[in-house]
Structures are given as structure tokens and as C-alpha cells.
């Protein structure tokens, strides 16, 4: 089931690994177990597959923190829950800055772990949902002609039709036609819709 999220557990301690496995499965989550970062890198999950990471900050070969930064470089954007046997403040700060969802000290309460994983999965889902919307906008934007894109950008920047016509050396009538076409192609019912879309696409006048 491609949509079912997977909790990827990376810990060199087999006891911890299997314990977490059983805990997550008891709540109906699917799990992936890895005893090292290397093992995880060898068979990384598909970027499309939803899920999150649960890993110890101290792992043989590469620390969990370093690993997290490395993943970001590689474009794997699974949210992570970090565990530590002896968490300290600098390490927690670094973890949170690198985008960790939570930082749990062993031994943790099961509910805390489940909450953290739920939050991570929610963040993953949100990110994925957001990414889906922008993808659609991009696809619609791709159907616009270059002139329509120029007009859309200037309109979204708040210019009047007359100003746009002056900027682009066009007649006001032509601007109105391009604007109408762009709104239709983008599926924008109002000017406000179009402005939001331009913002989401990070569109700026040239």
C-alpha cells in the first residue's frame, strides 16, 4: 500500500529496534528496521513513500545528527524523531535546527514516542499535500504563453491594466485579453485568486 506511512527505525541496539517495532505495529503502523545508517542508505525508501525516521543520535559510523544533515543534502525529506541515551542541550538544539520533529531521551514514555511519530507523519503528510498543490499550479502555469506570464506577473504585483500596457508597450485591450486567458488557464475565479497563485509560484515581474 503505497499510501500507508512507514516508520523507519535506525538503531544499532537490536533490543531497542525490536521494541520500537512492536510498539509501532501495535498501533497499526508499518515499520522498517535498520541497524546502521549504511544499511538504511543501501535501500532507501522511495521519495514518494510517506513516513518518518526514528533514530539514535549516536550511531556507529555516523552520528544521527550528521546523518540527518546528509539526508537533507540528498533530497530525502522524511521528518525525523531523534533519541538519545544522554541528551544534552547543544545536541538537542542542533537536532531541532536540522529539522528534527522531536528529541526523546531514553528511556521514553511510549505515548511520547507515539505522539512524536504521529507529529512527524503529520508533518510529512502536510508537506506532501503542499507539494501536490504547487505541482498542479506549476502544471497550469506551464500552459501560459510567455506574454500571458508577463501580464500575470505584473497584475499580481498590483499594476493597473493601463500600467501593464505601458510597461509591455501593448494596447490596454490586448492586456485585457491576455489577462482573461491567464485567469482562465490558471483556473482563477477572481483577481485575488490569481495573486495568491502567483505568490505560491513565487512569481515576480521580470
Q: Which residues bind other proteins (CB under 8 A)?
A: 13, 15-16, 18-20, 22-23, 25-27, 58, 60, 83, 85-86, 106-111, 113
Nearer residue to other proteins within complex by CB, 105 or 163: 105
Q: What is the C-alpha separation between 126 and 109, in angstroms, rounded?
A: 26
Least Å from the CB of residue 29 to other proteins: 12
Nearer residue to other proteins within complex by CB, 86 or 192: 86
Written as one string, the DSSP assignment of 82-100 is EEESS--HHHHHHHHHTTE
Least Å from the CB of residue 38 to other proteins: 14
Q: What is the C-alpha separation between 58 and 10, in angstroms, rounded?
A: 10
Nearer residue to other proteins within complex by CB, 25 or 97: 25
Q: What is the C-alpha separation between 20 and 26, in angstroms, rounded?
A: 10
Dihedral angle computed from the Cα positions of residues 36, 41, 43 and 49, in that order, rounded to the nearest 10 degrees = 110
Least Å from the CB of residue 32 to other proteins: 17
Least Å from the CB of residue 202 to other proteins: 40
Nearer residue to other proteins within complex by CB, 94 or 176: 94
- The H or E element spanning position 191 is helix 191-200
Nearer residue to other proteins within complex by CB, 11 or 148: 11
Least Å from the CB of residue 124 to other proteins: 22
* Burial environment of residue 1 by CB neighbours within 10 A (0 to 12, 13 to 18, 19 or more): exposed
Amino acid at each position: 500500500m503505497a499510501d500507508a506511512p512507514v516508520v523507519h527505525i535506525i538503531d544499532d541496539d537490536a533490543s531497542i529496534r525490536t521494541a520500537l517495532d512492536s510498539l509501532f505495529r501495535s498501533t497499526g503502523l508499518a515499520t522498517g528496521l535498520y541497524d546502521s545508517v549504511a544499511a538504511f542508505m543501501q535501500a532507501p525508501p522511495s521519495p514518494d513513500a510517506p513516513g518518518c525516521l526514528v533514530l539514535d543520535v549516536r550511531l556507529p559510523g555516523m552520528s544521527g545528527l550528521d546523518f540527518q544533515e546528509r539526508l537533507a543534502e540528498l533530497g530525502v525529506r522524511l521528518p525525523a524523531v531523534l533519541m538519545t541515551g544522554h541528551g544534552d542541550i547543544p545536541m538537542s538544539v542542533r537536532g531541532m535546527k536540522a529539522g528534527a520533529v522531536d528529541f526523546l531521551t531514553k528511556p521514553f514514555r511510549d505515548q511520547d514516542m507515539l505522539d512524536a511519530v504521529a507529529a512527524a507523519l503529520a508533518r510529512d503528510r502536510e508537506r506532501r499535500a503542499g507539494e501536490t498543490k504547487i505541482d498542479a499550479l506549476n502544471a497550469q502555469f506551464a500552459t501560459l504563453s510567455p506574454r500571458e506570464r508577463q501580464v500575470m506577473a505584473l497584475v499580481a504585483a498590483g499594476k493597473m491594466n493601463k500600467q501593464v500596457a505601458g510597461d509591455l508597450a501593448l494596447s490596454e485591450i490586448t492586456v485585457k485579453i491576455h489577462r482573461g486567458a491567464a485567469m482562465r488557464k490558471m483556473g482563477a475565479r477572481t483577481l485575488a485568486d490569481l495573486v495568491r497563485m502567483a505568490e505560491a509560484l513565487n512569481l515576480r515581474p521580470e
